[in-house]
Amino acid sequence: MTGDFRFHSNAEEVHGFHCHRFEMLSSTQDLLRDWAHKGSLASGTVIVANGQTHGRGRLGHSWSSISGQGLWMSVYLQPGIALESAFAWNMSLALAVCKALDLVAPWSEWQIKWPNDLVTAQGRKVGGMLVENQIRGTLITESLVGIGINVGHGAVAECLPYATSLMGECKAPQAKGQNENDTLTENLLQALLARLKSMLYRSAEASGQPLGQVPYPLAGDWYKGNILAEAESRLYGLGQRLAFECEGRTEFWIPEGLDQGGGLRARPCAEGPSQTLIHPHYRLSPGLNL
Ligand code: BTN
């Protein structure tokens, strides 16, 4: 199947988003970026693939995306928000994912591991986000929001103790076959797009406008203070002693909250004042909080 959006005018509408589904792609993020470069891509365009051969993670890492084992998707948005709100924007997207997870996989407490991982309260990673912004002047004009959530057991290699899947966390003795994976993946997609819609568009329903024509997708509750406070309430390891890697050393810090610029406010376990840790200079070590 061709990956050119001009041959995909029959996108499926899901909660106002234009959804293009593929069986196998190299990367939903790369295809969306190609489409965006070709121009005239509508805000609200979504690409979902059943599997990816070259899924990309943050910091140049690869992202394993086994066929039928997860939600692998990218959303194109034109937020038109100030660059200084980039981190709050990121957090609002991460919160939308957490809330969708609450709805369809309520058997765990879903948290945000700084800066952008989706984890259980013990720190097992269930998914991640890759947000790539286009900046013009002082505005974020375009965002390519890549979201990867491990759904089935098969998404995660058994030798990875710090990674998990939605099914892997579900203790209920329910069938965990491919049908259940597919249903959960579809429910998650639907819940996430519904969540994104209500977060993004103040009055999309009332105005009856398609997503792409709403100039400022700012919901009534979109403002930095609220979002950062809400993200802090979901922050993995808040008030706990965590290990960080910095310039080849391991340091121990206690997270206290989030900084508007994207840093993590933390106090050292050793003597010393609180500081704002900057990513990726400081990286949370993989580890579990059991
Ligand atoms: C991370 O935690 O490093 C972010 C992972 C993001 C993976 C998703 S899967 C769908 C989309 N397409 C990609 O190639 N990457 C993102």
At 280, list the tokens.
């990726």
Three-state SS at 83:
helix
At 15, list the tokens.
């909660």
91 pLDDT higher than 70 = yes
Q: Report the mean per-residue pLDDT for the chain.
A: 88
Atom of ligand 1 nearest to the CA of 125: 2
Q: Whole-model pTM above 0.85?
A: yes
Between the CA of 231 and the centroid of ligand 1 the distance, in Å, is 20
Say which residues have a Cβ less than 8 Å from residue 103's Cβ, sequence separation at least 6.
191, 195
Between the CA of 72 and the centroid of ligand 1 the distance, in Å, is 7
CA distance 140 to 266: 28
- Dump pLDDT digits (tens) for 98-137: 999 999 999 999 999 999 999 999 999 999 999 999 999 9
CA distance 124 to 46: 27
CA distance 175 to 186: 17
Residue 204's pLDDT is 44
CA distance 232 to 95: 10
50 pLDDT higher than 50 = yes
Instruction: Identify which of 108, 109, 114, 142 has the alpha carbon closest to the alpha carbon of residue 128.
Output: 114
Residue 239's pLDDT is 96
203 pLDDT higher than 60 = no
Quote the distance between the C-alpha of residue 176 and its chain's center.
24
Atom of ligand 1 nearest to the CA of 54: 14
- Dump pLDDT digits (tens) for 174-192: 667 899 999 999 999 999 9
Residue 226's pLDDT is 80
Our mutation pick for probing the ligand 1 site, out of 45, 61, 65, counting the most ligand atoms within 8 A of Cβ, is 65
Backbone angles phi, psi at 53, to 5 degrees: -90, -25
Atom 5 of ligand 1: nearest residue by CA position: 57
Between the CA of 267 and the centroid of ligand 1 the distance, in Å, is 31
Atom 11 of ligand 1: nearest residue by CA position: 146
At 185, list the tokens.
């993946």
Most confident of 12-16, 78-82, 112-116: 112-116
Residue 201's pLDDT is 66
Atom of ligand 1 nearest to the CA of 59: 3
Instruction: Identify which of 71, 22, 11, 72 has the alpha carbon closest to the alpha carbon of residue 44.
Output: 11
Residue 198's pLDDT is 81
Assess contact for 184 and 192: CB atoms under 8 A: no
Residue 171's pLDDT is 86
Instruction: Identify which of 237, 172, 182 has the alpha carbon closest to the alpha carbon of residue 69.
Output: 182
Ligand 1 binding pocket, CB closer than 6 Å: 27-29, 52, 55-58, 61, 63, 65, 72-74, 117, 128-130, 146-148
